[in-house]
Amino acid sequence: MRSQPVPPPEQDVPAPSPSHGSAQPADHVDVLIVGAGLSGIGAACHLRRRCPGKTFAILEARGTIGGTWDLFRYPGVRSDSDMFTLGYSFRPWTDPQAIADGDSIRRYILQTAHEHGVDQHIRFHHRVLSAEWSSEHARWTVEAQRTDTAESVVLTCGFLFACSGYYRYDQGYTPQLPGIDRFTGRIVHPQQWPSDFDYTGKKVVVVGSGATAVTLVPAMAEKAAHVTMLQRSPSYVVSLPSRDGVTDALRRWLPPRVAYPLARWKNALIATLFFQLSRRAPGVMKALVRKGATAQLPAGYDVDTHFGPRYNPWDQRLCLVPDGDLFQAIRNGRASIVTDHIETFTEHGIRLASGTDLEADIVVTATGLNLLAIGGMSLRVDGADVELSDTVAYKGMMLSGVPNFALTLGYTNVSWTLKADLVSQYVCRLLNHMDQRGYQICTPIAPDTLQRQPIIDLQSGYVLRSVNELPKQGPATPWRLHQNYPRDALFMRRGPLQDAAVQFSRAPTAAPATGSPLPGLININTQESFSCADTSSLAAPPSSLAPPAASARR
């Protein structure tokens, strides 16, 4: 496939002006980051720390920082992995809560951007539409459209870094729900939660069984008359404390710069172990999860129907509930789970395949996301379109046949940021290495014989719907990362930068390293790019100890 079409902007904009594409003289930066979410802000901070001589800018389609953590505003929105691993490696998470609400995470990203001075380098309301690589000039020419004025903007860069998340922002996924038009109540998708939505005393049905549904149900149950979670099939649900006792103790006795990496490694290792155990001994993990759920549900509860998936743990993501809040809402009768199929919507609710009628004033369609790779941008390399689905991810972050390009696709089995940090660190190592050797171009080349596999190894519906349109991965490194953080960390931070799968070269007519700087661009060292030391070894992983963590994806 080609890169997917760009979804319409989240706010209305006038039609593109006739000058669309014509453009003024391009601004140039060394590195252009797309997206000012958790990953894009992290990438910019890493660049400042590790490549202080590089100029950069961030193009962001929306008007704010934070991405996911600004977009999603539904009741109870929170992390479902611990913040010591969802936080950045370089900035301690200091709040008491290990599982944090959306607002706190958004504030953390904003404060990080501010503290590192990268917020001044964001161009808001710039949606990147396309990028075209020229090997002759060793440059990307990037076209963006302003989402506020529809103006076309052209920039050039030496390296393009897509930190644009993994799903469409303009609309979530809603399957065909039979008879939905008959329903006279209100239907809401969690991705477009109305800010003034009052559901006090209402009968609510949440359709879905993923992380969003299990978050919404206990949160809405606090005010609603009753909340029913309607699922076709169950998920694995694991309760974890919202505070991390071991980390609290570490933080009491040690300064943040020591306690935080210890907590981060502890939780990363535990989550990795949990995942490995699920893959190697699924029966053991199934029994453990079932036992945990049974202990928190009322006596005689049908655990197997509502909490006993047919697949193995981590074939789809696990759902984490802090302090067992979902189980508690079921215990106190404010929420219930129904496992059944929708026959049809009626005027006043939903008729199920079993013949039962569920009454509802409000139906929340927690039915998922629409995956979208690299923010919907289209790529061209020396005049040829790049079909994303034909590319193979090199080290989980560059694409075969696409020079000077990286993308951040976080882990699915542990916190996103663990991998986002590794990708940024690797990009910085790579840029410094190229400067030191006088290279301008770096291109992964996949052998024709390389066996290709889906890049996301999950059976969840939202993955299966789109995984064929995404880049592929190979069976082994460097064409694969292993969803194993300690192993990947060693490989990405210390592993070789040059191998048989990647070509480094010099451009025939490379433009000067730094062009006309954009307003507010960092160019601390304008002398020569050789001055960027490879500081990757500074981030050596500390050793670690003790308990809990699990993670999940929407």
Ligand X SMILES: Cc1cc2nc3c(=O)[nH]c(=O)nc-3n(C[C@H](O)[C@H](O)[C@H](O)COP(=O)(O)OP(=O)(O)OC[C@H]3O[C@@H](n4cnc5c(N)ncnc54)[C@H](O)[C@@H]3O)c2cc1C
The smaller minimum CB distance to ligand X, of residues 76 and 478, is found at: 76
The smaller minimum CB distance to ligand X, of residues 68 and 152, is found at: 68
152-181 residues near ligand X, rule: CB under 6 A: 163-165, 169
**Closest distance of CB 102 from ligand X, Å:** 8
CB 159 within 8 A of CB 406: yes
**Closest distance of CB 58 from ligand X, Å:** 9
Reduced to 3 states (helix: H, G, I; strand: E, B; else coil), residue 178 is coil
The smaller minimum CB distance to ligand X, of residues 79 and 296, is found at: 79
Per CB under 6 A, which region of 32-40, 260-268, 283-291, 515-523 contacts ligand X? 32-40
Closest to 504 (Cα-Cα) out of 161, 30, 138: 138
Angle formed at CA 181 by CA 175 and CA 183, multiple of 5 degrees? 105
416-445 residues near ligand X, rule: CB under 6 A: 416
Q: Which helix (H) or strand (E) element contains residue 110?
A: helix 102-115
Among positions 32, 38, 153, 521, the unique one binding ligand X when judged by CB under 6 A: 38
Distance CA 283, CA 294 (A): 16
The smaller minimum CB distance to ligand X, of residues 320 and 441, is found at: 320
Distance CA 483, CA 491 (A): 12
- Residue 231 as a binder of ligand X (CB under 6 A): the answer is no
Among positions 3, 28, 40, 266, the unique one binding ligand X when judged by CB under 6 A: 40
**Closest distance of CB 345 from ligand X, Å:** 25
The smaller minimum CB distance to ligand X, of residues 122 and 350, is found at: 122
- Residue 72 as a binder of ligand X (CB under 6 A): the answer is yes
**Residue 255: CB partners within 8 Å, gap ≥ 6?**
none
Buried b (16+ CB within 10 A) or exposed e, 478-489: bbbbebbbeebb
- Residue 209 as a binder of ligand X (CB under 6 A): the answer is no
**Closest distance of CB 35 from ligand X, Å:** 3
CB 85 within 8 A of CB 415: yes
The smaller minimum CB distance to ligand X, of residues 230 and 319, is found at: 319
Q: Which helix (H) or strand (E) element contains residue 373?
A: none
Q: Which backbone phi and psi does 134 adopt, to 5 degrees? A: -115, 120
Start-to-end C-alpha separation, the chain: 25
Per CB under 6 A, which region of 38-46, 49-57, 345-353, 430-438 contacts ligand X? 38-46
Closest to 374 (Cα-Cα) out of 167, 146, 122: 167
Dig out the tokens for 403 from the structure: 């020079």
Among positions 68, 231, 272, 365, the unique one binding ligand X when judged by CB under 6 A: 68
What is the contact surface with ligand X in residues (CB under 6 A)?
Answer: 34-40, 59-62, 67-69, 72, 79-81, 86, 127-128, 163-165, 169, 212, 375-377, 408, 410, 415-416, 551, 553-554
